[in-house]
């Protein structure tokens, strides 16, 4: 993304009289893109390591294992209780319990 030299607005590519130009959305200043293609900017994606959720003793409805990860989310209105989610340590089944 390039910005306008005059006003700082965003320059967008447009075809003007058969030539590819960068034109400002705000003040309509334009400049040639040159012979090369526009340079693509890369985006760095940083994935954080997942922190393990706490576990509790509960029975999985799918495989019967006795340990599951748990977490709480507010899934309904703010004046209603939260929802507790479980994920089986063994088979990965997820289920919920309304508190």
What token pair was written down for 46?
């940083």
- pLDDT per residue over 33-88, tens digit each? 765 555 556 777 777 767 778 999 999 999 999 999 999 999 888 898 999 999 99
**Catalytic (active site) residue 79:** yes
Contacts of 90 (CB under 8 A, 6+ apart): 60, 63, 65, 67
The active-site residue, picked from 31, 66, 80, 97, is 80
66: annotated active-site residue: no
Please report the sign of the dihedral spanned by the C-alpha atoms of residue 86, residue 87, residue 91, residue 92. positive
Q: Which one of 15, 47, 49, 79 is the catalytic residue?
A: 79
- pTM of the predicted model as reported, rounded to 2 decimal places: 0.49
Nearest Cα residue to 42 out of 1, 7, 70, 14: 1
Positive or negative, the CA dihedral 10, 14, 17, 20 is: positive
CA proximity to 31, closest of 43, 16, 42: 16
């Amino acid at each position: 993304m390039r910005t306008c030299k005059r006003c700082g607005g965003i320059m967008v590519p447009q075809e003007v009289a058969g030539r590819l130009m960068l034109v400002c959305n705000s003040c309509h200043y334009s400049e040639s893109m040159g012979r090369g293609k526009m340079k693509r900017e890369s985006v760095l994606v940083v994935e954080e390591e997942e922190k393990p959720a706490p576990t509790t003793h509960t029975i999985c409805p799918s495989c019967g294992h006795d340990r599951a990860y748990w977490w709480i989310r507010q899934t309904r209105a703010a004046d209603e209780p939260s929802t507790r989610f479980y994920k089986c340590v063994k088979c990965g089944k997820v289920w919920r319990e309304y508190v």
